[in-house]
Amino acid sequence: MAQLIDRSQDHMKRAKTRLMVLVPTMTAGGMEHCTSLLLEHFSRDYFDLELVTIFDRPPFFAIPADVRLHVLETMPRETVTRLHIQLSGFTTIRHSDAMFWLENVAAKLARLVTEMQPDVILAQDFYATIIALIAKKSTRTAPKIVGTVHILCSVFLQQIDLGDFYAQLLRQCLQDADAVVAVGKSVANDLIMNFGVRQNQTRVIFNPFDFEEVERLSRENLTAEKPLHDQIPTVLFVGRLAPQKGLVYLLPAIALARKLQEFRCLIVGDGEQRDELKATAERLGISSNVLFLGRVENAFKYMRAATLFVLPSVVEGVPYVLLEAMTSGCPVVATESTDDVKELLGDGQRGVLVPLWDSYALAEAILRILWDKRLRANLIEAGIHYARNFSISSSVTLYEELLKSVL
């Protein structure tokens, strides 16, 4: 009898859909936050979950205890690549090295897929999607592949090393995906117009957003030794210190605006531009007024206490951080990086929009909010009201329905 029960339970476990979620890392970022929320809220009655990260980096976001974690970077190196990426026009050593690395990582994933036999792979980010689609070519089980894209690739790939290489890979690979999730309408249109993705292949699903949790965390007290306990107005940025975030345009804006109004600027986050940005602040004579706080466990309480939040990005998808600032009761200034950002801010009804690459416009917008108390109050009210429309459940439901449909 015990053996029959064990066999029955084993059959029920195998009957679940085996879902493998592939993500570059689980460090700080909107895509990683999305992955964490999906893993937490996917139905355990329907899915058996595996998480695979490409790189071995300490996680910033929580990974549920019942989700098994695999790290490709720590797996034994493949001695022979089997996948043979074919791309015309890319013959330099840099391109060859990148192709070899991608083949090797994809071969590791293919070996793991053969072992774990997932029914479907949800690849978070265009980079992970490429690797999943390459790996599928050498697996017998041939899982379904649902890719996701969180940014305007046509713009972003122009700004990074080997961007032309990855752009061609996307055009070659994405059409083989069973579905591609875009986090916003602008991202979906970019995939269709510039990367050959079919319209019926694309799904627009906004990232899951936990309004109640952000609102709760924003009300935590700041410790006495932190800034924001005096009456000096504060401009806040939260995000990765990377070129796409446009901080090289924010710092000159801070220098311009401070000629007319005293305030401090807090920069929360870390990234490859940290030393460059500190040097720029020093050169502009504002280093004593621009504080680099690095990563913090709870950025929302800084949002609650700040006078305004600024997002000077040159490229985005649908940034979590704007909804987080709205939820925390912080007025927003943002660049017109995508139509999705414009939609989030209601074409200026829920935040002040400024043109790309324009430090003067950023300075003017910062001063406008600092000087206009009534405007700040109206933006706060409109932002909180709008952010309440987003939820975890609606996004998770759409993801689950899509994953079931491709099977």
Say yes or no to pLDDT of 4 above 50: no
pLDDT of residue 231: 79
Say yes or no to pLDDT of 8 above 50: no
pLDDT of 143-191, one tens digit each?
Answer: 999 999 998 899 898 888 888 889 988 998 898 999 999 999 999 999 9
Are residues 395 and 380 located together in one domain of the fold? Answer: no
pLDDT of residue 369: 96
Mean pLDDT of the 14-34 span? 90
**Identity of the residue numbered 333:** V
pLDDT of residue 359: 96
Grade residue 99 by pLDDT with cuts at 50, 70 and 90.
confident
CATH of the domain at 316: 3.40.50.2000
Tell me the CA distances in angstroms from 324 to 28, 292, 338, 377, one per residue in order.
Answer: 14, 20, 18, 17
d(CA 263, CA 234): 6
Are residues 189 and 269 located together in one domain of the fold? Answer: no
Are residues 160 and 242 located together in one domain of the fold? Answer: no
pLDDT of 305-348, one tens digit each?
Answer: 999 999 999 988 888 899 999 999 999 999 998 888 998 999 88
Torsion, Cα of 184, 185, 190, 193 (10° steps)? 150
pLDDT of residue 229: 64
Question: Rg of the chain's alpha carbons, rounded to an integer?
Answer: 23
How much of the chain, in percent, has pLDDT values that exceed 70?
A: 91
Are residues 176 and 278 located together in one domain of the fold? Answer: no
pLDDT of residue 25: 93
| Residues in a beta bridge with 19 | 49, 120
pLDDT of residue 398: 96
Mean pLDDT of the 14-19 span? 85
**Identity of the residue numbered 136:** K
pLDDT of residue 93: 66
Are residues 132 and 217 located together in one domain of the fold? Answer: no
Are 268 and 299 in contact, with CB atoms under 8 Å apart? yes
Averaged pLDDT score across all residues of the chain: 89
Residue 200 CB coordination number (10 Å): 7
Lowest-confidence pick of 81-85, 92-96, 350-354, 394-398: 81-85
Are residues 259 and 366 located together in one domain of the fold? Answer: yes
pLDDT of 242-271, one tens digit each?
Answer: 999 999 999 999 999 999 999 999 999 998
Tell me the CA distances in angstroms from 393 to 42, 207, 208, 382, one per residue in order.
Answer: 9, 10, 7, 23
d(CA 397, CA 310): 32
d(CA 67, CA 273): 33
Residue partners of 126: CB distance under 8 A and separation at least 6: 147, 149, 150, 151, 153, 166, 170
pLDDT of 208-237, one tens digit each?
Answer: 999 999 999 999 887 755 566 677 899 999
Domain of 54, in residue numbers: 2-208+391-406
First to last CA, the chain: 34
How many domains does the structure of the chain reveal?
A: 2
Are residues 196 and 225 located together in one domain of the fold? Answer: no
Are residues 134 and 257 located together in one domain of the fold? Answer: no
Q: Which two tokens stand for residue 164?
A: 């032309």
Residue partners of 364: CB distance under 8 A and separation at least 6: 354
Mean pLDDT of the 269-297 span? 93
Are residues 240 and 308 located together in one domain of the fold? Answer: yes
Are residues 160 and 250 located together in one domain of the fold? Answer: no
pLDDT of residue 38: 96
pLDDT of 353-381, one tens digit each?
Answer: 999 999 999 999 999 999 999 999 999 99
Are residues 383 and 400 located together in one domain of the fold? Answer: no
pLDDT of residue 86: 59
d(CA 105, CA 81): 9
pLDDT of residue 75: 87
- DSSP element (H, E) containing 235: strand 234-238
d(CA 316, CA 323): 14
Are residues 267 and 375 located together in one domain of the fold? Answer: yes
How much of the chain, in percent, has pLDDT values that exceed 90?
A: 68
Q: Which two tokens stand for residue 277?
A: 């940005």
Please report which residue ranges of 42-198 form alpha helices under DSSP H: 93-116, 126-136, 153-156, 163-173, 185-195
Mean pLDDT of the 198-216 span? 92
